Chain A
Amino acid sequence: MSLLREDPLLLEAFRRGEPGALTRVYRAYSGHVARFLSRTYVSRGPGGLARVGPLDLEAAHQETFVRAFREQARLTYDGVRPYSIWLNALARQAAVDVLRAAGRIAREAVALDDTPTAERLASNAPSPEDRALEAETRELVHRFLAGLDEATRRLADLRFVQGLSQERAGLVLGLSRQELRTRETKLRRAMTDFLLNEGWLTADSPDALPSAAATAAVLALLFPLFVP
């Protein structure tokens, strides 16, 4: 896909910074940038290879597009090279800056853009840290699924793994919408209990926000004449 190369009018509007054109470009390349940021190792430091994790993805993604949509960047793009390649270069630098600002990589970490090409290409394979993380997470998923009965495991597969809608999942399983919802509620409870037992979540978290009664009580205390 190369939206800007194929549509000269869009390219002109993009260069002028028209919001409609920027919106089209953003929507066309948002997924590409997110996937690129998530899989690409952007720096090498004492802690090993670093890439953007889920926590920093939004910040790096936005920073990439802010840089790409600046007037100078818009005017510099020649409309000939694939825009995705152009975005990749901006995304790498934005990722390094976001990771540095968040303290995830040391100031001494070297951006892989500054390393030889051969080394950069070699870095596309999963790092040892990521392999360990994947193994740990995969093991957790397997243990969770293994603890479910066959019917619930099938439901978990359709909803969590395959990402089917409730309606589609219900059709596959031969369940009414209400039946599916009931089973899914149990499945979610099982998931929460499992993560609590594994120490991934906090036990009192579902009740952590104040109740309506507590809110009203505090309001009455602070503002006796205030009627919400």
Chain B
Amino acid sequence: MALFTQHVDRQLVHLANEGVLPPRQWSRVLRHARGCARCGARYERVMNLRRMFASDTVTVPTPGELASLESRGLASVLATVEREPSTESSGQAARADRLHKDLGEPWSLARRLWARVLQAWNSPSLGHVGGAWVVSLMAAAGLLWLSLPSDTTEWGARGEGQGATVMRLFCVPAEAELREVRGQGDCPAGAALAFAAGARAPYTHVVVTVRTDKGLKVEGPFEVKASPGAEAALDLTPRLPDTGEVELTAVFASSASDALAAARGEPVRDVVRVQHRVRIAGKP
């Protein structure tokens, strides 16, 4: 027997028999099953069986599902809504939704890519593992962290306020796993880029410029609420051209207008400018 199964078979047996799982276990099972074709299919069959028992149709959730959604989902919804910036960003969300309707597929694709970024972001829950395992894994992670060299040069700040801002860059190929781009990185043609930013006071906003052979595009300003070390994703996933190189510049400032002005090349004090180049290369 393997020490750990990567699948959720035991919980599926429980679900088949009971129709419900303890809340945290159920969340973990769903998280795993949604990313695992094998377990996803089994989860669907088991829950359809329970639905058939409960109401003789597969299109009506069981009482257990309804109770679980009501109890488990609320905290997550409230936390998500609270995290989302209000007013200005609501306007941005509305613009995004309008764009979604106006642009149709390309924007849908960007949202899909972004969903993958967020999926990769979420670390797996250890709720199902015993407490001792958690302690040992944390200890092991601590040892690894101590032994790894710090990566301070990547997206290093090249202006004032070094260390107060962090920008991370990710390559999102169409048919491959998302990966972080380090140094002078490569990313295949047709892939998209994704960003995560963190900043400390006084920096609150960032603007990203994307320069390709076809010209310069200014994206943002984006409000940065996350701190360095806990960077949050930016709602920005530009698609790479077929060839050449992309130069990316992120400008952090203490206000949206300052960030935008600095990104346009106007003289603004107290900004942090970080730059990166991505070559279009590698297999798609």
Chain A residues close to B by CB (< 8 Å): 17, 19, 22-23, 26-27, 30-31, 34-35, 38-39, 51, 53-59, 61-62, 65-66, 69-72, 97, 100-102, 107, 126, 130, 133-134, 137-138, 140-141, 160-161, 163, 188, 191-192, 195, 200-202, 204-210, 212, 214-216, 218-219, 222-223, 226, 228
A residues within 8 A CB of B59?
38-39, 51, 126, 130
Residue in B16, B53, B80, B105 whose beta carbon sits within 8 Å of that of A161 in the complex: B53
B residues within 8 A CB of A226?
135-136, 139
B residues within 8 A CB of A54?
43-44, 47-48, 51, 61, 65
Q: A57-B65, A134-B57, A226-B139 are in contact. Are A195 and B10 (CB under 8 A)?
A: no
A-B contact pairs, 29 of them (CB 8 A): A30-B69, A30-B74, A38-B59, A53-B48, A54-B44, A54-B47, A54-B65, A55-B34, A55-B43, A65-B73, A70-B81, A101-B115, A107-B109, A137-B58, A138-B52, A160-B19, A160-B50, A192-B16, A195-B13, A200-B16, A200-B45, A200-B49, A201-B12, A208-B1, A212-B130, A218-B3, A219-B133, A219-B136, A223-B136
**Residue B162 is within 8 A (CB to CB) of chain A in the complex:** no
B78 shortest CB reach to chain A, Å: 6
Q: Is the interface of B mostly helix, strand, loop or mixed?
A: helix
A198 shortest CB reach to chain B, Å: 10
Chain B residues close to A by CB (< 8 Å): 1-5, 7, 9-10, 12-13, 16-17, 19, 30, 33-34, 40, 42-54, 56-61, 63, 65-66, 69-70, 72-74, 76-78, 80-81, 84, 86-87, 90-91, 93-94, 105, 108-109, 111-112, 115-116, 128, 130, 132-133, 135-136, 139-140
Q: Beyond A17-B81, A71-B87, A163-B54: 12 further Cβ-contacts under 8 Å? A: A30-B69, A31-B70, A34-B61, A39-B59, A54-B65, A59-B34, A66-B77, A101-B111, A107-B109, A134-B52, A201-B12, A223-B139
A residues within 8 A CB of B136?
218-219, 222-223, 226
Contact: B111 with A97, CB < 8 Å?
Answer: yes
A-B contact count, CB below 8 Å?
197
Contact: B76 with A62, CB < 8 Å?
Answer: yes
Residue in A69, A97, A201 whose beta carbon sits within 8 Å of that of B16 in the complex: A201
B2 shortest CB reach to chain A, Å: 8
**A223 to B135 Cα, complex, angstroms:** 11
A residues within 8 A CB of B45?
137, 200
B residues within 8 A CB of A39?
59-60
Contact: B130 with A204, CB < 8 Å?
Answer: no
Q: Closest 3 interchain pairs by CB?
A: A205-B9, A54-B47, A101-B115
